């Protein structure tokens, strides 16, 4: 007679436990990469957040993006300024300054991109269809988190003013990116696109509603 496994906890709890394990590996990878660059993981995260943001970001925006306190973001930004990886530029209103990457900062990030990444390697082991499902599920989870205010709005297709859901017939290219004026498949969804421009809240809600239907 077969026995059912005891239902120790709900599947959502077990997925959350799994994500914690993956996050631990990612943190370890980040430590190694940052150590090789003689910076801290928070400083590395700041360089990654600034990458592709030509206008730059305020320290308060960086702190919100990383989920760290403003003093922590300020200390890390000061260290990066000293190393010459970032510089300050005047904001549009001239009352506040923004941080942007320098050429040195970009060069350092390119080197970091070549570092070992155990999580990416593990994801690449999955069949293509499972990678796509994982990407779409992650986009859904991140979108729910940002709509709940748990994270700032991310540079994802589903929040972008250039994104048009279900523009094309067929599975290959049902969506559309108006920035490059090309079809966009689910597996092409971006999670941190440098061309992203945020859509207004009504458009974001309409896009999300449309995506729930297919
Ligand atoms: S610009 Fe980037 S984020 Fe926006 S729809 Fe195109 S690929 Fe997606």
Written as six digits, the tokens of 9 are 């906890």
* pLDDT tens-digit map of 53-96: 888 899 999 998 888 999 999 999 999 999 999 999 987 776 77
Q: Are 110 and 122 in contact (CB under 8 A)?
A: no
Q: Report pLDDT digits (tens) over 152-203.
A: 888 899 999 999 999 987 666 689 999 999 999 999 999 989 889 999 999 9
At residue 208, the pLDDT reads 87
Pocket probe mutation, ligand 1, options 146, 157, 208, 210, max atoms within 8 Å of Cβ: 157
Atom of ligand 1 nearest to the CA of 189: 8
CA distance 113 to 105: 12
What tens digit of pLDDT does each residue of 24-60 get?
A: 999 998 898 898 889 999 999 999 999 888 888 999 9
- Domains of the chain: which residue ranges? 11-113, 128-212
User: 179 in ligand 1 pocket by Cβ < 6 Å?
Assistant: yes
Does the CB atom of residue 177 touch ligand 1 within 6 A?
A: yes
What is the chain's alpha carbon radius of gyration, rounded to the nearest angstrom?
20
| Ligand 1 centre distance from Cα of residue 183 (Å) | 11
Q: Which two tokens stand for residue 172?
A: 């290959």
CA angle 190, 178, 184 (to 5 degrees): 45
Q: Which long-range contacts (CB under 8 A, 24 or more apart) does 26-33 make?
A: 26/119, 28/118, 29/115, 29/116, 29/117, 29/118, 29/119, 32/115, 32/116, 33/112, 33/115, 33/116
Q: What are phi and psi of 44, to 5 degrees?
A: -65, -40
Minimal-distance CA residue to ligand 1 atom 6:
177
Q: Which two tokens stand for residue 183?
A: 């079809």
- Token pair recorded at residue 40: 């801290």
CATH of 11-113, one of 2.40.33.20, 1.10.10.10, 1.10.150.120, 3.80.30.20: 1.10.10.10
Query: Per this entry, what is the length of the chain?
Result: 214
Mean pLDDT of 198-214: 86
- Cβ of 189 below 6 Å from ligand 1: no
Distance of alpha carbon 150 from alpha carbon 144, whole angstroms: 9
Helix (H) or strand (E) holding 136: helix 128-147
Decide if 79 contacts 43 (C-beta within 8 A). Answer: yes
């Amino acid at each position: 007679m077969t026995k059912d496994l005891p239902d120790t906890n709900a599947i959502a709890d077990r997925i959350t436990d799994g994500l914690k394990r993956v996050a631990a590996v990612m943190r370890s990878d980040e430590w190694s990469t940052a150590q090789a660059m003689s910076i801290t993981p928070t400083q590395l995260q700041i360089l990654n957040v600034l990458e592709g943001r030509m206008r730059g970001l305020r320290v308060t925006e960086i702190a919100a993006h990383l989920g760290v306190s403003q003093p922590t973001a300020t200390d890390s930004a000061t260290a990066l300024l000293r190393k010459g990886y970032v510089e300050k530029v005047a904001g549009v209103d001239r009352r506040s300054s923004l941080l942007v990457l320098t050429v040195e900062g970009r060069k350092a990030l390119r080197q970091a991109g070549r570092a070992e990444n155990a999580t990416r390697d593990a994801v690449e082991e999955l069949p293509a269809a499972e990678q796509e499902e994982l990407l779409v599920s992650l986009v859904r989870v991140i979108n729910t988190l940002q709509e709940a205010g748990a994270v700032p709005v991310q540079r994802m297709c589903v929040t972008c003013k250039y994104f048009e859901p279900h523009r094309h017939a067929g599975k290959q290219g049902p969506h559309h990116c108006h920035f490059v004026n090309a079809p966009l498949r689910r597996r092409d969804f971006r999670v941190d696109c440098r061309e992203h421009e945020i859509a207004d809240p009504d458009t974001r809600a309409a896009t999300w509603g449309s995506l729930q239907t297919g």
